[in-house]
């Protein structure tokens, strides 16, 4: 009898452990998160000048809007960027999401809003937790097609940051859906 009680308790505990309350599961289906590890070596072609050791990462949180049929109707992008190992005094001029597989340059699809006019000097060669909020797809592009494609194939998209020295891009990383 004691063995049966112990067995039942063990089965109940095992069943409870299989519950779907995983902390890695998104709490809100209208939020999608992407990350990317940024490296100068990932740029096309790879960076070989003074910024060749530059690195960083980005976390992109996308807030989705949906219609009554649960179809995505829009997306707003929020970025948190960390850059490091740039030469002190480098000037960060642009940052965006591009469509393109690893090793393939692609067009800008979502801009952070950073411009050469609002450039950020990396006084010590890096910056932590730089945020850009409320970004959307480039004007004239289909925002729904963009986010649906990013969700379906995140590795076909990349984030990169540009500097004065490397106007075509200084660090790049393919997106990973979290």
Task: Confirm whether 16 is domain-assigned.
Answer: no
**Residue 10, in any domain of the structure:** no
What's the length of the chain?
A: 178
* 158, part of any domain: yes
What is the average pLDDT across 144-169?
98
Q: Is the model's pLDDT at 163 over the cut of 60? A: yes
Print burial letters for 6-45: b (CB count within 10 Å at least 16), e (below 16): eeeeeeeeeeeeeeeeeeeeeeeeeebebbbebbbebbbe
* Integer Cα distance of 48 and 95 in angstroms: 20
3-state secondary structure 64-81: EEECCCCCEEEEEEEEEE
The total number of structural domains in the chain stands at: 1
Residue 36: inside a domain, yes or no? yes
Domain that holds residue 64: 26-177
> At 71, which CATH number?
2.60.40
- Domain membership of residue 130 (yes or no) is yes
The C-alpha atoms of residue 134 and residue 121 are separated, in whole angstroms, by: 22
Q: Which of 6, 12, 88 is nearest to 54 (CA)?
A: 88
Tell me the pLDDT tens digit for each residue of 47-89: 999 999 999 999 999 999 999 999 999 999 999 999 999 999 9
Instruction: Note whether residue 15 is domain-resident.
Output: no
pLDDT tens readout for residues 7-24: 444 444 444 444 444 455
- What tens digit of pLDDT does each residue of 122-137 get? 999 999 999 999 999 9
| pTM as predicted | 0.84
CB 56 within 8 A of CB 171: yes
């Amino acid at each position: 009898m004691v063995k049966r009680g112990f067995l039942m308790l063990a089965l109940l505990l095992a069943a409870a452990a299989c519950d779907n309350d995983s902390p890695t599961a998104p709490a809100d289906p209208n939020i999608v998160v992407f990350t990317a590890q940024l490296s100068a070596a990932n740029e096309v072609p790879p960076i070989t000048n003074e910024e060749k050791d530059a690195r960083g990462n980005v976390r992109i949180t996308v807030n989705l809007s949906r219609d009554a049929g649960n179809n995505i109707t829009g997306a707003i992008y929020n970025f948190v960027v960390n850059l490091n190992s740039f030469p002190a005094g480098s000037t960060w001029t642009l940052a965006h999401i591009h469509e393109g597989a690893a090793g393939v340059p692609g067009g800008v699809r979502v801009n952070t809003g950073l411009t050469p006019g609002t450039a950020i000097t990396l006084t010590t060669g890096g910056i932590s937790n730089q945020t850009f909020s409320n970004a959307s797809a480039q004007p004239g592009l289909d925002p729904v097609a963009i986010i649906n494609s990013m969700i379906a194939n995140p590795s076909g998209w990349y984030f990169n940051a540009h500097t004065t020295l490397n106007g075509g891009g200084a660090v790049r990383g393919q997106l990973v859906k979290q």
